[in-house]
Every structure is written in C-alpha cells, then in structure tokens.
Structure 1
Amino acid sequence: MVKFKEWLIKNMTVLIAGAIGAFVFITIYGTKILNPCYTDWLMSGGDLSQHYLGWKMYRNGDWTFPIGLTDQLAYPYYTSVIFTDSIPVFAVFFKLISPILPNDFQYFGFWGIFCFILQGMLSAKILQKFLRKKSFILLGTAFFILSPIHIWRMFAHTALAAHWLILLAIYPIVYYEEKFYKSKNAVLIYGLLGILCSSIHLYFMPIVGMVLCGFLLVSMVKSKKIFESLLPLFSFLSMGIITVYLLGGFASHASAGGLGHYSFNLNSFFNPMGWSIFLKDLKTYTTGQYEGFAYLGLGVLFLLFVTLLHAVSEIHFSSVKLNKEMAAGQIEKIAYTLIVLLSLMAAVSPTISFGEHLLAKVPIPAAIEKIWSIFRASGRLVWPAVYFLVLFAICGDRVFVDRCSTLPANQPEKLGRRIDLKLLILAFCILLQVIDLSDRFKSIHNRFATEVQYQSMLSDPFWEEAMKEEKIEHFIFTKPGDQALLYSITELASNHQIDIGDFYFARGIKNGTIQETLNEAWSNPRDDNLYLFTQKEERLRAARFKGNLYHADDIFIGYTGELNAQKMTEQEVRDLLFIDVTFQDKKYMKGDGEDKDGIRYLEPGGLSYGPYVAAPKGIYKVTVLGKGLQSANVFCHYNNGSTPIDIYNLKQSNERIEFELNAVEDIPNLEVLIQNRSDSQIQIENIWITVWDDDRREVE
C-alpha cells in the first residue's frame, strides 16, 4: 500500500494528463459512443462503417492460421482484417472473447478514449524531461491532445488516431541516459512498437521507423557500439514482419496507385483546410493533399513564433563552435533535427509543391515506386515533424537551443517573472488553440454526441423471409457503386452468418480474382448462393439467370430454389432483356456538348461513351437513335476501353445506327462509343441494347 501511494505521488502528473485526455475526448465526442452495445453510429457510411463491418464479419468467421484471415468478406478468398482498418489487435482480442460478448458489440468508442488518454500520458512523460513545473507540463500536454492531426483522424481513419505510438517512439530518445543506454531496454520497447504498429495500422511502421533512426544515431554516438545500437532496428522490423504475417497481411491484396497525389504540401503547417475560424484555407497542388494535413492550430503557431523569437535572441553566435565534440554533446538535438528532415522529405516526395504550384517532381525508379506505393498516402509521414514542432514550441526556448547568456545569480526575481510570463503565454495559446478549432469541435460533437438510429437500404420484407432459407451461405454480387448499399448488404449478411463475395478494402484484391469467381458462380448457380444484381446496369445478367428471379429494394435477386416471396413474372424478366439508355448531366461525355431533356447534343470532335452494362456471353443488337448519325464513328469496348469488341452488320443512316456484337465471354462493363467526326452538331436521342438468340432474333 505504501509503495502504491509512492508510485501514485510520483506519477500524479502523468495520470492527471491522462485524465485531461479523457476529459477532452468526452467533451468533443460525448459519452454515447462509449456504450459497447450502441453500434448505429458506426453505420453512417464511409470508413467508420468499413471498420465496424470488417470486424463484424471477421468475428463471424472460423479461426484460421494466420489468425487475421477471414473468408467472410471475399468468399472463397481469404483476406486480412488488416485491410479493413478494424484495428487488428483489438479485433483479434475481442474475437477471442466473442462468445461472452453481445451480438451487437463495438470497441471503437473505447479505442477513441484510450488513444486520448495515452496521448496525454506520454506527452506529459516527455515534457517532464524538459519542464520542471507541473503546471507547465499539464498545459503543454494540452497542445498534444488538441492537435488537429490527431483529432481529425479519430473516427475518420480510426486506427490512424494512434498518434501515441509516435510519442512512445520518441520517449527512448528523450530518456536515453536514464533508461535506454542499455540495449536490452531499447530492444524491448522498439520490438513492442513493431508489434503495435503492424497490428494497429501499417502506416505507423515507416512513421515510427523514422523516429527510430534518430534513436539509432543517439545510441551509436553515445555508446560507440555499432552492432548493439542496431539491435533495436532488428527487433522493430522482425516483430513487425512476424505480426503482419500472423495477421495475414501478406495475403493477395494489390498495391494502389496515387503516390505523389496524396503528398504533403509545403503550406500544410498553416493551411487549416476548414479547421480554423481565423485563417483562410489555402490552395493545394492536388486534391489528394488532404492526406498531408498538418495544421498546427493558431495557438501552436503563435507559441512557435514566440519561442523562436525568444530562442534566437538568446544565441550568441560568436561563441558557437561547430566541431566534432560540440556535435557529440548536442546529439539529441541533431537526432531531433534528423527526424524532422526525414519526415518532411518522405512526406513531401515525390511531388514537391507549395500551394497550387509544383516546385519539383523527384524521379524514382519503377522498382522503388512499386514498394513506396504501399504507403502511397505519403503526406501522413509528416506527423513526426508536427509533434517535434509542438515540442519545440512548448520548450524550445529552454532546452532545444543552448543559452549562451544567463541571468546573474543576484537577479532570481527576473527568472521568476520570466517563468510567470511563460505560464501566461502557454495558457493564452491553449485558449487561442481551442477558439481557433471550436467550430470543428462543435461539428464533431453534434455528430457523435447525438444518438442516431441506423436505417438499412434493405427495408423490403423479402429479406427477412429469404434469410429463413437455411441453405443460403453466400451472397454473390458485383460490388455496387453505392457504398451505402454495400454496407447494408454486409450488415444483413453479418447478422445471419452469411459471407459475401467482395467488400471495400484499404487495398483491393488482385485484379481479376474476384471477377473470375463471379463468372464461375453465375455460370453454375448453386442453392447455397443468393445472387444479388445490385446495379441497373446488371439487368441483362439478371434476366439470363438460370433460376428464379425476385425483385426487392431496386435489387434483382436470383435463387435456384424457392423462396417465400413473389417471383418476377416471365414478362417482367423479358423486359430486363432490353436496356434503354438516356442521357443527363453530361455523364459519360468527353469534349463539347450538352444533355437536354434526355437528348445528347454532341459537338464536332465530341465523344459519348458508356453505359458500362454487364453483358453475359451472347449476341446483342445495339440501336442508336438521333440525328446526323451518318457522320458518327461507333465502337464497342470493355475493361475500361482496353479490350475492343468486333461489331457486325453495321447499318448507318442520318437517324439510326444498328449493329450486332458477339460477346464471347461475360463482359462486366460494356460501353458503346459514339464520336462526332463531322463539322456540325449531332444528336443522340437513345441507345437500345437488346439480347438476341443464336439465330439473330430478339429473345422472347
């Protein structure tokens, strides 16, 4: 009991900082989302729904090895819970105790307050090294907790809110002399970080890796033992790789493009991007540079300015000597600078821009680009630099820059006044930070503190009747363009222990894999599959389904057996064999032209394309109606224009174009391209696509 009381007194400042983190979280987000049985708030769409449903489907699946794999989200393929961003370490833990959990259970609210608490505690622990007064430490902690880059990620890219991992990586550098000069301690903490980074979000591997580089520099200079100094690096990488393997992270997911598009813009430290009530948003070079969001907040910016003035004013440049001994004595500051530079270089590359202007584009070899594209949102890599700027703003005038002049010993009262002034400045800057971000805080509070009730897009009674059929084990469908519909389907499947054929992953399945499985499933229907045709463009495929067809919530449903619901009539099925394409809002148009009253007016050189209908293997007649069509070129493609389709029996006149095409395989996205090659406007009133039989007759 005495030891506990001593520990409590010793760590009181850190514990209070954690309590401040919890208080800020509850103030911003409210308490409703902390209820583990309240899940409706997670079904509002976007990434939150992806995270929650990813966990829910993972929970339903059988245990496998590697333990992070599930066949519930892309049946029959196994995918990793890593790629649903469901915080894998939590997903695995709660799956272990799943039998004692309620059916509706979520851990994301708890994760949020957990991150805020650790953000407060670890920042306080770091500040204790530089600041003596507890009031300074607690005020300084508030800047880390109120960091916009931390709050923005929470419940947007939820796993990426674990910014306390960055602070935990900084901790061994700050306390190297006290605790981490022994390689054993460093190996343990960075090994733990390897496990945590790879089991929370993979982007933290390069982010923490850059901080680790700073630690290695300090260790090598101070210990002068190169091999031992590298052991934390081996520990970090090996633990990370092993954890990724155990979670199934090396499964068949493809890398994504966009490297450079999602980079850091050099104006991002002071570009609020909608987070400030005082500062205006600044332009960026690409629309994807929101990923490099690094706004410090007006309070931190003001504090940084004051600190810089104070720190620079106290340097006696004439007494500064640049030599080997000086560098060794200031190795921690050099390490901090190295981390900031690495962070900035990694985040800004390969597209270096300031505002809307491109300054340079760094050429990189294709092999490196392929690896780098795994972390295509390179703008996120600026986070270590952000936190070192915050740390410098709080303590830079007392620690980061050597003082070459000190107050005389007989003037202690001036030092006291200076500290009081520092306290006032910190308090003022916190107030300024809160006011600056207040509108965004209110918006977040209104969203999460108000209880919501989820309404599925699948409201037809058909679904509950269909789910009574015990044979159904799989939903077979092409991923719908409407993400909300995908989540409604996934939610229905998860509630009835049914797996699905595709999902929204942070990294998609390798090209062609899903489509091959779908083609096989459609060609050979089984009674354990429920076939969902979720898009209007799939009506041709639905009409040719070999089984019974149903209609609910604008979805066509195919099943080989009988369901307790009204089937579509033969005439209704025949009507699906005809697609009537109309035009609006210049959708699928390139070049000059307009859509008016359902008619497309295409100017010279203009191109009309689409409608990207799913066309099963067979013969089709295509009819185009309009005016001036004798001056148009017509083509057919699929696979986004990469695969042409031969057309036959082309007949072309002023008001009509007719031709046939033979789809020798299932086409997921048939498009008809019409190009105006004349010197005057042409009109396209409609496009009809009709299924023909082998004798060139319309199917009846």
Structure 2
Amino acid sequence: MKALKKYRWPLTGALLGVLVFLAVYGVRVLDPTSVDWILNSLSPDPIQHYLGWELFRRSPVHLPYIGANYNAVYPFRTSVLFTDSLPLAALFFKLLGGILPTRFQYFGWWGLLCYALQGGLAQAVIARIAGVQPTFGRDDKSKAAIAIIMSPGQTAKLWGSVLGAGVLVLFPALTIRMFAHTALAANWLVLLALYLWLRSDELMPTTRRACLIWGGMGLLCAGIHLYYLPMVGLVLVGYAVRRTLQKRGFAAAILPVAAFCVTALAELFLLGAFAVNFAGYSNGYLSGADVVNLFVPGIAASWEQIVYAGLGTTLAVVLALVCAAVHFSKAKAFFAAHRDWLIAGVVVLVLDLIAAGGNTVTVAGHTLFTVPIPQPLMDFWAMFSSCARLAWLAGMLLAVVGCGLVLRFWEGDNRAPAVLLAVCAAAQGWGLRQTLYNQWSYFHAAGFYQNNSQLRDPAWDAIAASGKYSHLAFATFDFEHDEFWNLVDFAADHGWTSNSFYMAHMDGNLAAVTLPGELNELSADTLYAFIDEDELARNSYGLHYYRLDGILIGSVEPIDGIEEEPAPETPGCEMNLTRSDVINGDISGDGVTLTTGGEMMTEEWTLFPGRYRVTLTGSGFDHSYIYARYGLINQETYKLDIDFTGIDPNEMTFEFTATEMLHYWRTAVHTLDDANVTVNSVTVEKVG
C-alpha cells in the first residue's frame, strides 16, 4: 500500500496507457496461446518476429552466443536480434521452453507493457519538469516514509501531468509501430532515459552509480532494439554535457558513456550479433527525416521517414511558448537557474536532428543538398539506415518539455493548465483518429483471430508425424509469398529447421546466391519446397514431387499415402503482374497499362540454368521495347541476349539460355511513343 501511495501518480499515468491499449487493441492479443492474429498480419514483419522466436526457442545453444539461432537459416547461424523478436524476452522464455505450449507468443503482453510504461514514465518526466512531483519525508516516530501534504494547486498540476502523459501515450510512433515493428514500440526507453537524466543528481550521486545505471540502459536497449542505442545514447550525451558544465570532472562525464557502450557491445556479442552468416549492414543509403515533419504531417518521403510528433505535441509546445512569453520574467529566471539543463537539452536536440536527417538535408519536402560521406562512415551509419527514426527522441523531448513547462509557467487558476493539457491529449488523439480507428477495426475483427493458414490438407500432419523429416528447404531465397510464411510456421511448429528466413541487416545477395546450393546435395530428412518460379526447376532434380494445397513439394524418398504429381514436359509459370514496378502506368486485375513514357519491370525471379521461353500477351507491343535483365541488388545489372521467336502487336515471345543461376531476373517493357501498351500476362516456360 505504501508503494502504491508513493507511486500513485506514475501508476495513474500507466493506467491511462493500459486503458488506451485495451481500447484500441482489445484483450484477445493478450492470450499467449493465440498466434493466428500475428500470422494473419498484412505485413510480414510481425510474422517474422513471432516465427523468429519460435525457431529460436528450439534452436540448440552453443556458447558463447546464447542468442544465436541455428534453426532459421540452417545450417548457417543468425541471431534472435535480427528477427526483431525482443531478444531479452526470447531468452527468458527460451529458459521456460519445456513448460510452454507448442504455440506461445509474448508480443501481446509486450504491447500492454509498452503502453503502461509510456504513460507512467511520461507522467513522471512531465511532473519533474513541472516541478510538482510528490516529495517525501520521514515520520519522526515511525521512521517510515510519508508524503508531504500538497496544496490543491499541486494536486491539480499532478493531474495535469497525467493528462499530459496522454500526449505521449498517443504518440504517433508508438501507435504506428505497435504490432508492426513491435520491438520499435519501446518508446518508453527514451522516456526512461530522460527520467534518469532529470533525476541524475539524486539517483547518480557517484560516478560508480552512474556507470551502473547507464550500463543497465545499454543492456536494455541492446536487448530490445538496436535503434534505441543511438536515441538513448544521445540522452547520455546530454548527461555528459551537463556533468561537464557542473565541472564534475572528466571521469564523471565520460565513464558512464563508456559503461553504456561496453555493456551494450558485450550483450550484442553474446546475442551473436557479430557472428551471424549473411550479415550485411550497409545498403548504401540513409532514409533521413524532414525536420518540418515533426510538426507538419504528410510531408515525409516514405512511411519509414514519418517522424510527425502529433497535433497535441505541437499544441503543447505552442502553449509552453505562450506561457513563457506571458510570464517572461518567471521563465527567464527559470532558465537562468537551470542554464546547464538548457544547454545540455539544446545539444541533445540539435545532435538528434542532425543524426536523424542523414546526409540529405530536406526541409518542408524540398531537398536542399546532400552531404558527401566517406564510405567507411557510410557503412557504419548505415547500420541505422532508417535514421529518421532517431527523430522520435526530438518529438518526445518536445512533448514532455512542452507539457511540463505549461504546468510550471502557468499562474492563476491551478486547474487551467490541467484543462489545457487535456485539450492537448484530445488533439493528439484527434490528429491520430484515422490510424486509431484502423487499428481498432483491424484488431477487433473476428476473422483476424482465425486460422487462415493455406496448409489445410491432412497430409501435412501425416508428413510431420512420420518422423522422417527434420528440415525444410526452399529452392531459392524469396519470402515475398504467403506460402513461404505458412511453410516456415509449419516447420517451427514441428521443431524443424528452415534454410531460409527474413532477417534485419541481411545480405540478401549472399543469401540469394548461397541458398539454392541446398539442391546440390539432396537429403532424405529434408522436405523441399518449390514456390512459384522455383517450379521451373523441378525437372532438373531427382525428387518425388507432390502438390499439397497448391504448393509443390519434393522428397528424396516417396511419401506414403500421397499421389505423386507427374512432371510436365515443359514446366511453366505465370508472373504476378501486381508485383511489378510501374512508371507512368496503372496496375489492375487485368494487367498493366503503360502510357506515354511508361516503363514496367516485372517481379524479380531466380532462374536455374536452362533454356527459357517468355510469352507476353496484351496489346500495343508494336509501340514498345521489351528486354530482360538480371543482377544482384546494388550491383551491376546485365541485359540478356534474347531471341524473339514470335512478334505480334498482341503477343510477343522470346527465348534465352541461362548458363548460370540468374538472380533477380526481370522482364521490362517500355513505351516508344504516345500509344498505350497493355500487358495482360507474362508466362515463363523452361524448354530445355
């Protein structure tokens, strides 16, 4: 009871976060045995997070890499870190693996925890800035801690801090990332860092204590998501700047930074971050933030670059500036008394916006200039290539400072600032209303919690029960298929390995080149999967082939009780035109229509060596230029030498020979003049 009374205000903020979470996402996501809502996600990311955990929980442990996953890209090694499966949670529940049900997820409760911590820590930070946090003394008789009685004005402002916490609970990055990039919903890590910084004089009276606390923050960040390392690290820079201004000495400023870095690196080592196969950190670009997007929605260049802090954040900042202007002398005295905090805070804000902007400076949707960066620095920075995310720190810092200063600078009716912050929270929700409604409707749909797996044939269970198989192998590396995730889920459920998986910071080129080698030495304990274009290679390998639920599978030995599918003389497969990249054209259910200056690139396929025939149907081909190309991502691409064997305005056919594996092969169609060109289908056949 004493603890509840002591922390009742942060707990009230946490309760606000819990109520918002339950209102938006409901309670069904909290069932740890309910996983279908994850597997039914529109985005592959939540599926990756869950299946990464499922493969990891049954993976063997080989010291020192306790976070290594040997089941996801068998026989190679990756890390639970790079499946964004919340490594700390994954490690904890792996220890309990023997008593957990076959299907188990912790992501729903993680979401609830994130909202609770977001609300509780936001209240604590806002109250601290406002100068109205409850204080405690000691009863002379009982020696117990007792709350010092507060005035009605202080109580009203504490309620205002709870309402201000609503601005952070409804912070756009939290709502957008929750159950999308689930680990990235840990915005509360930034708030925790701000809280520790604000209370550093009390909580960190010695350098040793500071090293322990900031070292713990390094462990938390590295064990949740890498992008929080630079965000929290920038708050730590603010701590170091203030310690320097306080003239506490070099050690007091630098050693906590060193502790943060060392503990984070040590944990990353144990998680296997530096020992994974197919690691590729540099993708050659930085997705930077537009600083104006913090206050103006809709100007981000891409979804990944959205850093909008919300209408409520903007309103809180404006109100804080108005209050400071109206009560200028009070504000001036406050900032003069807290000069070290002001300087350190500005340093954090400026450095954060520089880091979040990347090397391309964009303001209000207009690119001003690009800063040339040496390749070694680019390779390092590209570990955080989606660097726009770092601006979340700036957004949250502005939100809590805005709310806190409204409470601190207001004079007169003590209830008024609470009302103003309630308006800010309401404005934050109003600006986010469409996203909140979409989330609510999505997570409250009954069909979302049903088993919609494509694997319905009872033969799948018979295959698993036979005990003959322990590995699943895909012919090529391509996870852009629903069938891929269904099959990996099947493998994970039955304790099998998978030779292919989607991971963050993965060298897709290396995976694409390496994984087809699985077919060089066929194994009787492996079930082979051929999805879409991989079916073209079926006649090249001496397997027994079967089709279950439309999926072609192969086995070295016959599978009892299932009828084999005869091999076609000429395997063929039609490309999915909805996955094409189109410029100056439209994609519909009937195909692709290109207008003046139109260009079309089909989806990317991997083709095994052989002779191929490609047939395009549509209209206007006599006004087009058609070719085929291949080449690894971010490397030189090559045009194929093709032979047109059929030329007609409504149908074009060409053939070519692949003497080696063709990675990321595509067919291209360009218009030559003002006439429209329509592509209704593209069919590829292996003719030799």
Q: How does 1:239-278 map to 2 (within 5 A)?
A: 239-250=263-274, 251-252=276-277, 253-257=279-283, 259-260=285-286, 262-272=287-297
Q: Select the structure of larger CA radius of gyration.
A: 1
2:20 counterpart SS class? helix
1:484 to 466, 478, 482: 482
Does residue 430 (structure 1) correspond to residue 456 (structure 2)? The answer is: no
Deviation of 1:506 (Å): 2.0
Structure 1 residues 480 and 662: CA distance shift in structure 2, 3 A: closer
Does residue 529 (structure 1) correspond to residue 554 (structure 2)? The answer is: no
Does the 8 A contact of 2:547 with 2:565 survive in 1? no
Q: How does 1:253-332 map to 2 (within 5 A)?
A: 253-257=279-283, 259-260=285-286, 262-272=287-297, 282-284=298-300, 286-288=301-303, 290-298=304-312, 300-315=313-328, 330-332=339-341
Does residue 164 (structure 1) correspond to residue 188 (structure 2)? The answer is: yes
Q: How does 1:82-161 map to 2 (within 5 A)?
A: 82-129=81-128, 130-132=130-132, 133=154, 134-161=158-185
User: Given residue 380 of structure 1, which amino acid in structure 2 is its aligned partner?
Assistant: R
Q: What's 1:379 paired with?
A: 388
Q: What's 1:389 paired with?
A: 398
Deviation of 1:646 (Å): 5.2
Q: What's 2:54 paired with?
A: 56
Does the 8 A contact of 2:575 with 2:603 survive in 1? no
Q: What's 1:502 paired with?
A: 500
Structure 1 residues 315 and 258: CA distance shift in structure 2, 3 A: farther
2:322 counterpart SS class? helix
Does the 8 A contact of 2:29 with 2:108 survive in 1? yes
Q: What's 1:211 paired with?
A: 235
Does residue 29 (structure 1) correspond to residue 44 (structure 2)? The answer is: no
Alpha-carbon distance in structure 1 between the residues aligned to 2:117 and 2:95: 24
User: Given residue 227 of structure 1, which amino acid in structure 2 is its aligned partner?
Assistant: A
User: Given residue 507 of structure 1, which amino acid in structure 2 is its aligned partner?
Assistant: H
Does the 8 A contact of 2:309 with 2:396 survive in 1? no
Q: Give the TM-score taking structure 2 as reference length.
A: 0.84
Does residue 17 (structure 1) correspond to residue 13 (structure 2)? The answer is: yes
Q: What's 2:149 paired with?
A: none
Deviation of 1:634 (Å): 7.3
2:395 counterpart SS class? helix
Q: Which runs of 5+ in 1 are unaligned?
A: 273-281, 402-413, 694-700
Structure 1 residues 562 and 691: CA distance shift in structure 2, 3 A: same
User: Given residue 259 of structure 1, which amino acid in structure 2 is its aligned partner?
Assistant: Y
Alpha-carbon distance in structure 2 between the residues aligned to 1:183 and 1:659: 72
Deviation of 1:49 (Å): 1.5
1:40 to 36, 41, 55: 36
Structure 1 residues 645 and 483: CA distance shift in structure 2, 3 A: closer
Deviation of 1:606 (Å): 7.7
1:430 counterpart SS class? helix
User: Given residue 665 of structure 1, which amino acid in structure 2 is its aligned partner?
Assistant: E
Deviation of 1:239 (Å): 0.4
Structure 1 residues 319 and 232: CA distance shift in structure 2, 3 A: closer
Does the 8 A contact of 2:479 with 2:502 survive in 1? no
Q: What's 1:579 paired with?
A: 572
Q: Which moved more, 1:469-478 or 1:615-624?
A: 615-624
Structure 1 residues 102 and 17: CA distance shift in structure 2, 3 A: same
Alpha-carbon distance in structure 1 between the residues aligned to 2:131 and 2:269: 42
Alpha-carbon distance in structure 2 between the residues aligned to 1:459 and 1:182: 62
User: Given residue 285 of structure 2, which amino acid in structure 1 is its aligned partner?
Assistant: L
Q: Which moved more, 1:482-491 or 1:582-591?
A: 582-591
Deviation of 1:225 (Å): 0.5
Does the 8 A contact of 1:465 with 1:564 survive in 2? no
Does the 8 A contact of 2:164 with 2:422 survive in 1? no
Alpha-carbon distance in structure 2 between the residues aligned to 1:377 and 1:31: 32
Structure 1 residues 327 and 59: CA distance shift in structure 2, 3 A: same
Does the 8 A contact of 2:13 with 2:162 survive in 1? yes
Alpha-carbon distance in structure 1 between the residues aligned to 2:291 and 2:339: 28
Structure 1 residues 367 and 77: CA distance shift in structure 2, 3 A: same
Deviation of 1:333 (Å): 1.4
Deviation of 1:597 (Å): 8.1
The Cα offsets for residues 265-316 of structure 1, whole Å up to 9 and x where unpaired, read as 23322334xxxxxxxxx333x224x433223233x33232222112023335
Identity of aligned residues (%): 27
Structure 1 residues 685 and 172: CA distance shift in structure 2, 3 A: closer
User: Given residue 92 of structure 1, which amino acid in structure 2 is its aligned partner?
Assistant: L
Does residue 229 (structure 1) correspond to residue 253 (structure 2)? The answer is: yes
Structure 1 residues 231 and 431: CA distance shift in structure 2, 3 A: same
User: Given residue 506 of structure 1, which amino acid in structure 2 is its aligned partner?
Assistant: A
2:414 counterpart SS class? helix
Structure 1 residues 631 and 158: CA distance shift in structure 2, 3 A: closer
User: Given residue 396 of structure 2, which amino acid in structure 1 is its aligned partner?
Assistant: Y
2:218 counterpart SS class? helix
Structure 1 residues 567 and 646: CA distance shift in structure 2, 3 A: farther
The size of the alignment, in residue pairs, is: 651
Deviation of 1:209 (Å): 0.7
Does the 8 A contact of 1:465 with 1:563 survive in 2? no
1:360 counterpart SS class? strand
Does the 8 A contact of 1:292 with 1:382 survive in 2? no
Structure 1 residues 118 and 568: CA distance shift in structure 2, 3 A: same
1:332 counterpart SS class? helix
